[in-house]
A and B are shown apart, each in its own frame.
Chain A
Amino acid sequence: MSDRPFMEPGLEEPILVIDEGPREQLPPAKWVRRHLFNNWYNTLITVLLVLALGYAAYRFALFLFVNGRWSPVRQNLTLFMVGRFPRDELWRIVTQVIVWSGTLGLAWGAAIAGARYRATLAGVPYAEDPLLAKVRRYWGLLGLLILILLLTESFGPLILALVAVGAGAVMQSVGARVPGHNAGFMWAAVGVLGVGGYQIVSGFHGTGWLWMGAPLAWGAVQLMRRIEWRSFRRRRIATIGSTVGVFGLAYAAYTILDLDGVGWDKWEGLHLNLIVATLAIVLAFPLGLLLALARRSTFPALRVMATSYIELIRGVPLISLLLMAQFFIGFFLSTTTPLSTLTRAIAAFTLFTSAYIAEIVRGGLQSVPRGQLEAGQSVGLSPVGVTRLIVLPQALRAVIPAMVGQFIALFKDTSLLSIISVAEILDVRSLVHAQAAFRGFGIAETLVFVMLAFWAFSFTMSRESQRLERRLGVGER
């Protein structure tokens, strides 16, 4: 705004800055004058706000350090994290945290490797963010972690945190060093580690082989693609054969191993919130994708059915679906064994999320220019081929930020589990305040802690999604 010599003297500065252009570096005194005291009413507002903020900060500090009764939080940290998870089996969750931390690190590394590879192909320089920028990006989560570590009385959590962060860092550097054209294998490894981490707690048995088989099969398919086959037919046979083989191997391994774990009915606390959100989005994605394709299809029957499902689900609050799941989802099935509360809740979450994902994916499908479709048709691809090879890859790339946003909303919605008495982190409070020492004691304090836990994850993820949005250049093409 400084380069406007034609402005009449006395013409007021705008109340709103329309364009947040590149920041100019000003000396502190000038900066303060420009941004806090540039005219009489801004001066007034600044003075009043400083006074009000000072008072609020004083009261808040008083609450934090003097009046706050933090013992209900401090003495029940394990309860807030994992609820009443069997304490002899706690090593499972400890291992899971370390494995998943490594998985996230590997995924991050693979993403870096992939980005570097694509940048090299496109002939653009690729610069990695310095460590400080990464730390700044995740300050919300790091703050929560440090706070929890400060509140604990033993060294166990500190060691766990250090090992987990270490595993993440090691795996990240491993992932980032893999040549870019092998990134596909890295993603298969990420899948195997992710499923494996989940099954460390849930046990390697039952239908677990299906979940483990999927990323393994993906890896096998990648491998088959690398090999030069003499004919297209042979390659296809090899691909199908290896997929079936891998699933068969997984089935055999799980039948022989049959290691029991702790079922999800015993999972509680923040651990459960994160897992329910992840499970719901993973389970809802295929359904949402199909719904979106059906809604966009040229088949009127499919369109009508998909649209009515989506509008029906989006028109009612999640609670009513959870209640429906609690009271009569069992009646819809002809099973004799009743499903557990959590299973029914996860079913409701999945149905609910699929409608929202369908709308997100539909937005992505609409963002693909028509010319892309026509180009696909003109090279003789079938309608399925056009969708699979041309439309979907572009559409799904464009919806990543919105999917992260949906994940955040879902994570916040997991607090609704407390209404049907599943002991997720908000409901753990009722366990805490049922203890004789904390009856009606420290209500605000436990709530603030729960808020902080939700906030740290959601805030970090929302920042990440904004960054992705900028990097993917959504809306700019």
Chain B
Amino acid sequence: MIQTPIDSGGRQTSVVWYRNIRVLRAVTQVVAVIAVVGLVWWLLNNLVNNLNRQNINTDFGFLNRPTQFQIPYDEGFNPRSSVWAMVLVGVKNTFLAGIFGIILASLLGLIVGISRLSSNWLVARIAAVYVETLRNIPPLVVIIFFGFALFTFGPFPVITEADQYSFFGSEHNWLILSNTVWGVPSLIAEEGAGLLWVGVVVGLVAAGLVARWRTRVFDRTGRPHHRLSFALGTFLVVAFVGYLIAGDAYSMSWPALAASGRRIGGGLRLNWGFISVTVALGLYTASHIAEIIRGSILAVPKGQSEAANAIALSAFQRYRFVVLPQALRVAVPPVINQYLNLLKNTSLGVAVAYAEITNLTLTSIGNGRPAPQSIVVLMGVYLAFSLTISFMLNVYNRRIQLVEH
């Protein structure tokens, strides 16, 4: 691109220095860097000056001091726990809401997305209405709807008069519903639990090896591999042996109203903030995932399914072996993007007092912890989540591209 000008005598002349592209490039970049660094330096300088003037500490020592407040629905946490412990509780709750929201959103999104292409007009219409409704409402409003219209001011009774359900003539409660906490049965680890998990891990490894062996046999001989059935069988056998050796690894824990009637003891206790955030975000994100799934299925060339028809695959086989594998490859990156959005949207739990990281940070600032450092920690947590997920996405994308070669 860079040509040395030639004068009328055919000799090469040098470019004037201020028009030399190399000089221009270097100067532009240096100027830009100086401008940006200067701006950032000026802002930070102001920040430190202003904080000093108002006698606000700029160190992170507050992380080791007690929080001096209680986290609702968290018995393991007391006001003497440090701010670090609070951050960890917040991260755990953010992660829990994220994981369960993602599971709900994926299942529902897949179902709705496929339903939108159903040959049954009614099914397709209902799926379309679902998508067009949920997609166009702010997730915050959906969360608040669940939190307040369904829980706080909703049809469920207060905890002291909670509905207790027991099924199949069992003497235990299977379900306790109130407007703040729901109780469901859960498993409690006994002594043998460690041994059982060893069995599970060994089973998984064995299953992986068996699957590889079957794949090799298939590659070599072309005989049907049945690797899924083989692997599953191996896993079940090993895990069952582990279960037998471990004895009673887990026991059931049943929810029951405590003597005071103000709380539920035993079982798994789901608080209203968690249910609102998880279900609302699950429903909202499902509408986006459904659109992605639909788009990816439509993106598979028509010739592919015609070819599948031509070799007389059944409708199910056509989807399982021809259309879906190609559609999912297109769908994975945007779907993971939606997962990331869902994880970031759990910060809306602030509105329903769910003890996730943003809410706890806000409470802690309200209790006199320095705001700038608290928010830096908060952003750091989210950045760590986001960068990890985008890193994994990049790795996946690279693998996909290799496959296509």
Report which A residues bind B (CB closer than 8 A): 7-8, 11-20, 35-36, 38, 42, 45-46, 49-50, 53, 298-302, 305, 311-312, 314-317, 319-320, 323-324, 327-328, 330-334, 377, 408, 412-413, 415-416, 418-419, 426, 440, 443-444, 447, 450-451, 454-455, 458-459, 462
Contacts and interface: CB of A to CB of B under 8 A. Distances in A.
5 contacts: A42-B119, A315-B386, A315-B387, A319-B348, A331-B47
A299 B28 contact: yes
B365 A327 contact: yes
A298 B29 CA distance: 10
A419 B362 CA distance: 11
B298 interface: yes
A320 B36 contact: no
A18 B305 contact: yes
Given A412-B138, A426-B144, A462-B136, A331 B119 contact: no
Given A12-B315, A315-B387, A419 B50 contact: no
B32 interface: yes
Contacts of A415: 138, 140-141
Given A35-B120, A49-B123, A317 B29 contact: no
Given A49-B122, A331-B50, A320 B136 contact: no
Interface string B9-30: 0000000000000000100111
Interface string B120-143: 111100100000110111111110
B159 interface: no
- Most chain A C-beta atoms within 10 Å of own C-beta, residue among B123, B140, B318: B140
Contacts of B318: 14
A470 to B, nearest CB: 14
Given A15-B319, A419-B351, A317 B358 contact: yes
Contacts of B118: 15-17
B136 A317 contact: no
Contacts of B136: 408, 412, 454-455, 458-459, 462
A132 B318 CA distance: 42
Interface in B134-166: 135-142, 144-145, 148-149, 152-154
Given A298-B25, A327-B372, A416-B348, 17 more contacts: A14-B119, A299-B32, A301-B33, A316-B382, A317-B347, A324-B375, A324-B379, A328-B47, A334-B49, A415-B140, A416-B140, A418-B351, A426-B141, A444-B154, A454-B137, A455-B133, A462-B135
Contact of B119 (A16, A312, A323, A416): A16
Contacts of A443: 148-149, 152-153
Interface string B277-311: 00000000000000000000110101001000100
Which 6 pairs, one residue from A and one from B, show the smallest C-beta to C-beta distance?
A: A315-B386, A327-B371, A458-B136, A35-B121, A444-B149, A412-B138
A449 to B, nearest CB: 11
- Most chain B C-beta atoms within 10 Å of own C-beta, residue among A300, A314, A377: A314
A314 B341 CA distance: 10
A17 B118 CA distance: 6
B145 A447 contact: yes
Contact of B302 (A11, A19, A319, A332): A19
B55 interface: no
Contact of B386 (A8, A316, A330, A413): A316
Interface of B: 1, 25, 28-30, 32-33, 36, 43, 46-47, 49-51, 114, 117-123, 126, 132-133, 135-142, 144-145, 148-149, 152-154, 297-298, 300, 302, 305, 309, 312, 314-315, 318-319, 323, 344-345, 347-348, 350-351, 358, 361-362, 365, 371-372, 375, 378-379, 382-383, 385-387, 390
B122 A50 contact: yes
Given A16-B319, A49-B122, A320-B382, A459 B46 contact: no
Nearest to A429: B144
A16 B114 contact: yes
A328 B371 contact: yes
Contacts of A46: 120, 122
A427 B221 CA distance: 68
A93 B36 CA distance: 40
B192 to A, nearest CB: 42
A317 B302 contact: no
B13 to A, nearest CB: 19
Contacts of A408: 136
